[in-house]
């Protein structure tokens, strides 16, 4: 079975979308671990309900929190095939990224390479898109490297936002697409259809 670790820190709607596709039998994978920097978020609650092992990473390694090298060992023991960042806001240390080369992906709620980077998360992203008067937005799934929102783009989808009145309306339209594109992209990984050749990602 293709094994996923999903990193979260918020409400966990993307985690739920992944789990729902797994339950429907559309995605042949299992979520073997959920990792968060917050012990009490919605995503962790959902994981616990499904009896998925959860790990909390943090600065102070008390109260059950662990550091990234311990986490790396634990995930290697689980034989994780793909790490999916779905709303995980903390910067991941370079050592950790290097030990899971081309095995970490992130979903960003705008069309990269625009509207990404430090501080570009949550409503900040949609506000920046709104204020730019961009006519389209949409989610981007990309590989994770040491720089925020910088890794090669794997998949994107756009939606018309020319008529929106608020950043929240953009968020709503983009989130709907996130819940489709993320499980779809994971499925492409499980089918070995994503290739990174000559510095370009292709879907075969």
Residues that bind ligand GRF (CB under 6 A): 8, 10-14, 43, 86-87, 107-109, 175, 178
User: Are 20 and 181 spatial neighbours (Cβ–Cβ below 8 Å)?
Assistant: no
Min dist. Cβ of residue 6 to ligand GRF (A): 9
Give the nearer residue to ligand GRF in terms of CB position, either 80 or 138: 138
Q: Could you give the C-alpha distances from 52 to 45, 120, 195, 204, in angstroms and in order?
A: 10, 29, 29, 32
Min dist. Cβ of residue 91 to ligand GRF (A): 13
Phi, psi (degrees; rounded to nearest 5) at 37: -95, 0
Element (H, E) at 108: strand 104-108
Report how far residue 83's alpha carbon sits from residue 105's, in angstroms, rounded to the nearest whole number: 6
Give the nearer residue to ligand GRF in terms of CB position, either 96 or 121: 121
For tokens 């090669």, name the residue: 152
Q: Residue of minimal CB distance from ligand GRF?
A: 87
Min dist. Cβ of residue 88 to ligand GRF (A): 7
Cross-strand partners of 70:
none
> What tokens were used for 135?
């006519």
**Cα torsion for 134, 186, 57, 143, to the nearest 10°?**
-60
Min dist. Cβ of residue 12 to ligand GRF (A): 5
Catalytic residue IDs: 108
Give the relative orientation of helices 13-24 and 167-190 as an angle to the nearest 10 degrees.
40
Give the nearer residue to ligand GRF in terms of CB position, either 105 or 194: 105
Give the nearer residue to ligand GRF in terms of CB position, either 73 or 168: 168
> What tokens were used for 53?
């092992």
Min dist. Cβ of residue 182 to ligand GRF (A): 8
Q: Could you give the C-alpha distances from 159 to 62, 110, 139, 169, in angstroms and in order?
A: 43, 10, 9, 12
């Amino acid at each position: 079975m293709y094994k996923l670790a999903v990193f979260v820190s918020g409400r966990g709607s993307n985690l739920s979308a992944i789990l729902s596709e797994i339950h429907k039998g559309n995605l042949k994978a299992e979520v073997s671990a959920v990792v968060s920097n917050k012990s009490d978020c919605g995503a962790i609650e959902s994981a616990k309900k499904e009896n998925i092992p959860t790990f909390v990473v943090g600065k102070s390694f008390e109260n059950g929190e662990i550091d990234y090298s311990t986490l790396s060992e634990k995930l290697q023991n689980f034989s994780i095939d793909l790490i999916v960042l779905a709303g995980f806001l903390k910067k991941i240390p370079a050592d950790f990224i290097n030990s899971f080369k081309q095995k970490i992906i992130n979903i960003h709620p705008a069309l990269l390479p625009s509207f990404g980077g430090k501080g570009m998360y949550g409503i900040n992203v949609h506000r920046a898109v709104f204020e730019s008067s961009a006519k389209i937005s949409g989610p981007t799934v990309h590989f994770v490297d040491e720089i925020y929102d910088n890794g090669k783009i794997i998949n994107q989808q756009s939606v018309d936002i020319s008529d929106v009145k608020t950043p929240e309306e953009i968020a709503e339209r983009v989130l709907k697409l996130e819940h489709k594109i993320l499980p779809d992209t994971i499925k492409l990984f499980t089918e070995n259809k994503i290739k990174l050749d000559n510095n370009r990602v292709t879907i075969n």
